[in-house]
Structures are given as C-alpha cells and as structure tokens.
C-alpha cells in the first residue's frame, strides 16, 4: 500500500493561505509558519502529518499528497476545514 510523508498548514481563508505561500516562497520556514498560523493540531509539530496512507486525509489533500510533485508547496487547497498548503517529502 502506498504511503507518503507530508506536512501542511491549515487556515480559514484562501487569502491567508496565499499570503503564507508567498512568505514560504520568499524564504520563511514552513514549520515556523505552521506553528504560528495553522489551525490544525499538526501545527504544533510544524505541520507534520507524519506518514499518511491514501484515504486518511480529506480527498482534496489526499489528491495533492499522492499525485502532485514532491517538495513543492501546493495550494491553497480547499476542504471543508478551510484552506491547506501541502508539502510532500516522499511517497512510496
């Protein structure tokens, strides 16, 4: 079964997610921003989701984790919880 290692930042608005994505692109640390802004409990761990398997995350995030290029910051990705920025380190 496939698995991947990913982290994410979850915020309420698309504008907030887009602003954080810009800050990451300009060199700010993903994990530092996750700790400060993410509304998900994973934020305390710098957004670290650990190892996930297909179907464990909401569909929109699952699609990013298992289909999009590695190491890039993807998003904003909309789900029923808000807007996510997702970064995947590896998948196997």
Q: What are phi and psi of 90, to 5 degrees?
A: -155, 160
Q: Are 46 and 64 in contact (CB under 8 A)?
A: no
Q: Name the residue range of residue 44's domain.
A: 4-91
Q: Alpha-carbon distance 9 to 17, whole Å?
A: 8
pTM (predicted TM-score): 0.95
Domain count, the chain: 1
Mean pLDDT of 15-27: 98
pLDDT digits (tens, 9 = 90+) for 72-89: 999 999 999 999 999 999
Q: What order of strands is seen across the sheet that includes strand 82-91? A: 48-52, 4-11, 82-91, 73-79
Closest CA to 91 of 66, 56, 68, 71: 66
- CATH number at 52 reads 3.10.50.40
Strands (E) in 12-65, as ranges, are 48-52
pLDDT in tens, 28-73: 999 999 999 999 999 999 999 999 999 999 999 999 999 999 999 9
pLDDT at 1: 79
Per-residue pLDDT band for 10 (boundaries 50, 70, 90) equals very high
């Amino acid at each position: 079964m496939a698995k991947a290692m990913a982290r994410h930042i979850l915020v309420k608005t698309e504008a907030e997610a887009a602003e954080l994505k810009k800050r990451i692109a300009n060199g700010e640390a993903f994990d530092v921003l996750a700790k400060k802004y993410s509304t998900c409990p994973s934020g305390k761990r710098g957004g670290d989701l650990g190892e996930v398997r297909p179907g464990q995350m909401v569909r929109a995030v699952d699609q990013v984790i298992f289909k999009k290029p590695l190491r890039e910051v993807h998003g904003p990705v909309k789900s029923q919880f808000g807007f996510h920025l997702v970064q995947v380190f590896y998948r196997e």
